[in-house]
Amino acid sequence: MRHPLTRALASAGLNALDVATHLQVDPKTVDRWFNGRIPYPRYRNELSRMTGWSVAELWPDTVPREPQTSTNEVRMTYANRSLVPLDTWRSVFRRATEAIDIVAYSALFLLEDPVILRTLATKAKAGVPIRIALGDVNSQYVAARGAEEQIGDLMAARIRNALVLIKPLQRLPHVEVRLHDTVLYDSIYRADNDALVNLHIHGVPAAHAPVMHLRHEEPDGLTDSYMTAIERVWSVATFYAA
């Protein structure tokens, strides 16, 4: 099989002598390139310009390959949380059959929805494990997040409201609530292989920050990173009894 350089030169109407003359190299050097010897970078770039073929086409092994990442995991992105349809939140939890995790500071916007609360109760009664990790109202990180969002003590107040709303859930089997004292870089809402990730941006309220809807497709993919984050926060959170 002919080397790509041979085909590239032929398509450009050039031969080995033309290359040797233009690059001021010995014709035998050009022959070595035809037989697989890789030219120095300056010659590779010049040959690319002469033939119109990219360096990657002529010598694929010399060009670093971009890491392969799956884009199938990103189902949808939203510029801010308020753009996520309410039915999306509801349907994600409604479809869950194996696990539901909520890791946030307050998640009040979600827990104020009576439909979602009923869905969580139904899932718990059906045996689906539900884990809810909210911020500890006495945490310095909760205070810092309140300051960042310019709402001060309102962040802690939201958590208290959320804890009141989920009291009925805590009486059900398969529901556990914990409080965490950690920095959250994202709020994560997971139902089986789906995860809605609300990014945290310094100084921007979570409601105004972007949301990614992810679906776990493969090991070590994008969604796995957030699944791991859930476990890390959960492992250091403390049990909360209503």
pLDDT per position as a tens digit, 4-58: 888 888 888 889 899 899 999 998 999 899 888 999 888 999 998 888 888 888 8
Last-in-domain residue among 41, 62, 83 = 62
Using one digit for the tens of pLDDT, what is the confidence trace for 153-187?
A: 888 999 999 999 999 999 999 999 999 999 999 99
Query: Is the pLDDT score of 132 beyond 70?
Result: yes
Please report the pLDDT score of residue 6 as a whole number: 86
Strands 186-191 and 194-199: antiparallel
Question: What percentage of the chain has pLDDT greater than the value 90?
Answer: 57
Same domain, yes or no: 102 and 217: yes
pLDDT of residue 70: 47
Which of these ranges, 93-107, 169-183, 212-226, has the smallest mean pLDDT?
Answer: 212-226
Tell whether 69 is covered by a domain: no
Tell me whether residue 67 is in a domain.
no
Q: Are residues 158 and 44 in the same domain?
A: no
Pairing of strands 194-199, 211-215: antiparallel
* Section 187-207 average pLDDT: 92
What domain range is 34 assigned to? 4-62
Residue 67: pLDDT over 80:
no
- Indicate whether 215 belongs to any domain: yes
According to the model, what pLDDT value does residue 66 have?
53
160: domain CATH number is: 3.30.870.10
∠ CA 230-183-210, nearest 5°, is: 75
The pLDDT score that the predictor gives to residue 71 is: 54
Which of 62, 82, 97 finishes a domain? 62
Q: Are residues 35 and 152 in the same domain?
A: no
For the chain, first and last CA: distance in Å? 74
Residue-level pLDDT at 1: 55
- What CATH number does the domain containing 12 carry? 1.10.260
CA distance 132 to 128: 13
Residue 205: predicted pLDDT = 87
The pLDDT of residue 65: 58
Query: Considering the entire predicted model, what is its pTM?
Result: 0.70
Q: Are 47 and 108 found together in one domain?
A: no
Whole-number average pLDDT of the chain: 90
Task: Answer for the pair 136, 182: CB distance below 8 angstroms, yes or no.
Answer: no
**235 and 190 both lie in a single domain:** yes
182 in a domain, yes or no?
yes
- Separation of alpha carbons 122 and 150, rounded Å: 36
**What are 72-99's pLDDT values in tens digits?**
788 899 999 989 999 999 999 999 999 9
* Co-location of 177 and 85 in the same domain: yes
Q: Are residues 156 and 180 in the same domain?
A: yes
- 100, 127: one domain: yes
Single residue among 15, 42, 62 that ends a domain in this structure: 62
What is the tally of structural domains in the chain?
2
Mean pLDDT of 214-242: 89
Q: Say whether both 32 and 94 belong to one domain.
A: no
Q: Is the distance from CB of 131 to CB of 101 less than 8 angstroms?
A: yes
